Amino acid sequence: MHVVVLMGGWSSERDVSLTSGKGIVEALKARGWTNVTPLDMDRNIAQVLTALRPDVVFNALHGTPGEDGTVQGMLDLMQIPYTHSGLTTSAVAIDKELTKAVLVPHGIRMPGGRIVQSASLYEGDPMARPYVLKPVNEGSSVGVAIVTDEGNYGKPISQKAEGPWLHFDRLLAEPFIKGRELTVAVLNGEALCVTELQPKAGFYDYDAKYTDGLTTHVCPAEIPANVAQSMMDMAAASHRLLGCNGISRSDFRWDDEAGEAGVYLLEVNTQPGMTPLSLAPEQAKQRGIEYGELAERLIAEALGEEFQPLEAEKAVAR
């Protein structure tokens, strides 16, 4: 079986994708898969895949165009099976406004908020502080800013000459939910566990996510059982309602002074990281699923097959 691991691309999350992809390639080869091709995606991707003729593509891309439905649509047209979610789910989940439109009517608690144009921020704050500004369709906390009356944003936002929001046209402004940062991975419809994220710098930004030592992962999270179950139920329901395939990861804020009612879903990631520091592999391991086995499970799901652990004597056949 020929597996192409698609990685890299040109999004702001390129480096993370390359690390994820290389990890998958190494893990599959270590488990006996002999025909695995790493592919750093460029704009000739369709021609390259036609020449490679893979049996399945492992999608290790993050951000546009590998997480927004574009690559998924191309692979559908080429009739090549691929891991993770399909075109429609990917296009909806990467758009935070559309995600809310799907999930909130089904009882999934998410912060309120509204869409703003970045240029309008020079006219003043879009809502009372503290609030969060985030690009509508970016991941890994790229471009996210927490606007408070302290720190870099102490003066009126209209006077700020620079800010991460300037690189994006459409932004989502949401009330800041005080409390704790947690996340839940869902594998083939089943919530794995809850991890609490304790960044040393106070905000779980891009560097905190992907720099070793900047964030402590408490897995499983030391929180009340009913709160953990609420998050796992919301993550599994969101995975189902959005139509996710394979694996997803739902990120939460929890106002621990409000109990279970303080749980808020922030977003659903259809292409969660697969780096050595990533949360989904960590949660899978907590449930007894090693990194390489997780990759095999995702490939099996993409092919519509039941997962069967690779037996050593059959490894050469891969």
For all residues of the chain together, what is the average pLDDT? 89
pLDDT at 166: 62
Q: What is the pLDDT of residues 82-104, one digit of tens each?
A: 999 999 999 999 999 999 999 99
- Catalytic-role residue among 23, 273, 292, 297: 273
Q: To which H or E segment does residue 72 belong?
A: helix 70-78
- Catalytic-role residue among 11, 20, 59, 140: 140
**Residue 155 in this model has a pLDDT that exceeds 80:** no
Provide the 10 A C-beta neighbour count for residue 65. Answer: 19
pLDDT at 314: 41
Q: Band the pLDDT of 177: cuts 50, 70, 90.
A: very high
CATH 3.40.50.20 range(s) for the chain read 3-83+294-317
The question of whether 202 is a catalytic residue gets the answer no
- Catalytic-role residue among 14, 31, 180, 249: 249
The question of whether 269 is a catalytic residue gets the answer yes
pLDDT at 312: 37
Q: What is the pLDDT of residues 46-57, one digit of tens each?
A: 999 999 999 999
CATH number, domain 3-83+294-317: 3.40.50.20
pLDDT, average across residues 241-251: 98
| Token pair for 194 | 């809850």
- Catalytic-role residue among 269, 296, 297, 301: 269
- Catalytic-role residue among 67, 267, 282, 301: 267
Task: Tell me the CATH number of domain 93-110+178-270, given options 3.30.470.20, 3.40.50.970, 3.30.1130.10, 3.30.750.24.
Answer: 3.30.470.20
- Percent of the chain whose pLDDT exceeds 90: 72
pLDDT, average across residues 118-139: 84
pLDDT, average across residues 136-155: 68
CATH superfamily of 114-175: ATP-grasp fold, A domain (3.30.1490.20)
The question of whether 296 is a catalytic residue gets the answer no
pLDDT, average across residues 11-32: 95
CATH 3.30.1490.20 range(s) for the chain read 114-175
| Token pair for 296 | 């095999």
- Catalytic-role residue among 82, 210, 264, 291: 210
pLDDT at 160: 54
The question of whether 31 is a catalytic residue gets the answer no
The question of whether 267 is a catalytic residue gets the answer yes
More confident residue, 137 or 298: 298
pLDDT at 88: 98
- Catalytic-role residue among 13, 138, 181, 205: 13
Alpha-carbon distance 66 to 83, whole Å?
Answer: 11
The question of whether 273 is a catalytic residue gets the answer yes
pLDDT, average across residues 229-247: 98
CATH 3.30.470.20 range(s) for the chain read 93-110+178-270
- Catalytic-role residue among 67, 68, 95, 251: 251
3-state secondary structure of 151: helix
More confident residue, 39 or 13: 39
β-bridge pairing 190-199 and 180-187: antiparallel
The question of whether 206 is a catalytic residue gets the answer no
Alpha-carbon distance 173 to 161, whole Å?
Answer: 19
**Residue 203 in this model has a pLDDT that exceeds 60:** no
